[in-house]
Amino acid sequence: MASATSHSAVRRSVLPICFLFLLIAYASAEPSGIGKAKPSLPFYQDGEVICQGDIHYPDVFHATEDFQTVREGQALPPGLHVRMSLETGEKLARLNVPFRSDRRESGTALIPLEEEPLPVQPEETPSLLEQSGRDPPPYSNTGRISPPKDPSVSTPFETSVSQILAVTDVIDSNAVLRSLEDLEDLAHELYFGLEIASRPDLVQKLLALMEVSTDPQIRSLAAVAMGSALQNNPAAQAAIREDEPVLSDKLMSLIEAEAVPKVQERLLFLLSNSIGSSPSVTQRLDIGDTRALLDVFDAAGTGRDGKDGVRGKLAVFIADRYLDGEMQNVDETKGQRANNAGDDLGRQGVLGKPRGLLLWCKAFGHALELWRHHPPSTPLAREQVQAALAFPPCSS
Spatial distance between the Cα atoms of 336 and 388, rounded to a whole number of angstroms: 22
**289 pLDDT higher than 50:** yes
Mean pLDDT to the nearest integer, 300-323: 89
Pairing of strands 68-69, 91-95: antiparallel
Residue type, 265: E
CA atoms 382, 261, 307, 317: torsion sign = positive
pLDDT band at 113 (very low <50, low <70, confident <90, very high): very low
| pLDDT winner (highest mean) among 106-120, 140-154, 280-294 | 140-154
Q: How do residues 40-93 score in pLDDT, each as one tens digit? A: 444 444 457 887 777 878 888 888 888 888 888 888 888 888 888 777 778 888
pLDDT computed for residue 191 by the predictor: 92
Mean pLDDT to the nearest integer, 271-277: 82
**126 pLDDT higher than 60:** yes
Residue type, 102: D
Spatial distance between the Cα atoms of 227 and 231, rounded to a whole number of angstroms: 6
Closest CA to 187 of 227, 223, 219: 227
pLDDT computed for residue 65 by the predictor: 86
- Looking at the DSSP bridge assignments, the partners of residue 335 are none
pLDDT computed for residue 141 by the predictor: 53
pLDDT computed for residue 138 by the predictor: 60
pLDDT computed for residue 117 by the predictor: 67
pLDDT, greater one: 52 or 14: 52
DSSP per-residue letters across 175-203? HHHHHHHHHHHHHTSHHHHHHHHT-HHHH
pLDDT computed for residue 218 by the predictor: 94
Spatial distance between the Cα atoms of 180 and 169, rounded to a whole number of angstroms: 16
pLDDT computed for residue 18 by the predictor: 53
pLDDT computed for residue 59 by the predictor: 84
Give the three-state DSSP class for 243: helix
Q: How many residues are given for the chain?
A: 396
Spatial distance between the Cα atoms of 311 and 183, rounded to a whole number of angstroms: 28
Spatial distance between the Cα atoms of 161 and 183, rounded to a whole number of angstroms: 7
Contact 270, 251 (CB under 8 A): yes
**207 pLDDT higher than 70:** yes
pLDDT, greater one: 352 or 168: 168
Spatial distance between the Cα atoms of 252 and 271, rounded to a whole number of angstroms: 8
- Whole-number mean pLDDT of the chain? 75
Q: Peptide bond before 393: cis, by omega within 30 degrees of 0?
A: yes
Spatial distance between the Cα atoms of 314 and 255, rounded to a whole number of angstroms: 11
pLDDT computed for residue 276 by the predictor: 73
The region of weakest confidence among 100-114, 223-237, 290-304 is: 100-114
Sequence-ordered list of residues with C-beta below 8 angstroms from that of 319, at least 6 positions apart, any chain: 387, 388, 391
